[in-house]
Amino acid sequence: MRSPRADMRRAVARATLLAALAWGATSAVRAQDGATESPFGASPATPAVDPRAEHIQTAVDKLRHDPLLSGKHKEHTLRWKDSDEPEKKTPPDSSFIEWLQAFARFINDTSRFLLWGVVAVLVALLAVSARHLVQLRGFRRNAAAAAAVSHVRDLDVRPESLPDDVGAAAWALWQAGRVPAALSLLYRGALSRLIHRFRVPITASATEGECLDLARGRLDPTALRYVTQVVRAWEASTYGGRDLSTAMGEALCSGFAQRLDASPAAAMESGA
């Protein structure tokens, strides 16, 4: 493709050539006219036709019809698209509406999965909360057991210091004639059950009467009545030196498991 500068040079060359030819034609005509004039002023003779003038006239006509010199030349050129031209943008309102429609379709398609996801998260939270609650209760129970007293007025009330079946062990001592030891075991066992099973806040310096007062409201009537009988028998033997009958000893030893180791419902049925 020709450049505009080359076209300009070509147009200038043709114009120069046209001007030269026109000047040459004019000079030739003048010379011919001068040659045919008479020196004495007579009328001129008929001029002869010059072939060169015809060639010059033909060249001038061609130059006149040249589109580069007539000002009517059209030329098509290619150019790169200007990147700075503003691009047509979609109105923000329509794009926002399209986004809302797409979001609504997404919610409609995934609502079931979202619902099951929410349910799964809630179940997981409930499980974690229940686990923490169980751990908290266990911690409180262990803390309460650790904070509980181990001795009440020199009597060891720790559960590990007692036999598995307190009533049977006490009855064996009673039958062997060791009544004070049997009553001491029954009293220690009763205090241990009050502290560690029924959460009665008995202190290390609590007396027998204070232990009974603290147990009221935390034991059912049958269990409270049995503990009262054990305490009174312990006081009568230890402080009063009284001898207790074998029948009373058997009743106290056989009633320990029923009143202090059994469930509250079983204790109520046996008491009835």
pLDDT score for 49 = 54
Is the residue at 76 inside a domain?
Answer: no
One domain for residues 140 and 159: no
Is the residue at 42 inside a domain?
Answer: yes
One domain for residues 199 and 102: no
The tens-digit pLDDT sequence of the chain (272 residues) is 555 566 666 766 666 766 666 666 666 555 555 554 444 444 445 555 566 667 777 776 776 666 665 555 566 677 776 655 555 555 555 677 887 788 777 777 777 777 777 888 888 888 888 887 776 665 555 445 445 688 998 899 999 999 999 999 999 999 999 999 999 999 999 999 999 999 999 999 999 999 999 999 889 999 999 999 999 999 999 888 898 999 999 999 999 999 998 755 444 444 44
Alpha carbon distance 122, 62 (integer Å) = 97
One domain for residues 8 and 66: yes
Alpha carbon distance 136, 27 (integer Å) = 128
Angle 101-102-103 from CA coordinates, rounded to 5°: 90
Alpha carbon distance 266, 269 (integer Å) = 5
pLDDT score for 105 = 78
* Residues comprising the chain, all counted: 272
One domain for residues 157 and 101: no
Is the residue at 240 inside a domain?
Answer: yes
One domain for residues 172 and 267: yes
- The tally of CA atoms less than 13 A away on the side-chain side of residue 270 is 19
One domain for residues 188 and 222: yes
One domain for residues 190 and 233: yes
One domain for residues 46 and 105: no
Radius of gyration of the chain from its Cα atoms, rounded to whole angstroms: 66
Print the domain residue range for 65.
4-70
Contacts (Cβ under 8 Å, ≥6 apart) of 44: 33, 36, 37, 38
Q: Could you tell me the two tokens for 23?
A: 């000047």
Is the residue at 17 inside a domain?
Answer: yes
One domain for residues 203 and 117: no
One domain for residues 230 and 255: yes
Helix axes 221-238, 179-196, angle to 10 degrees: 140
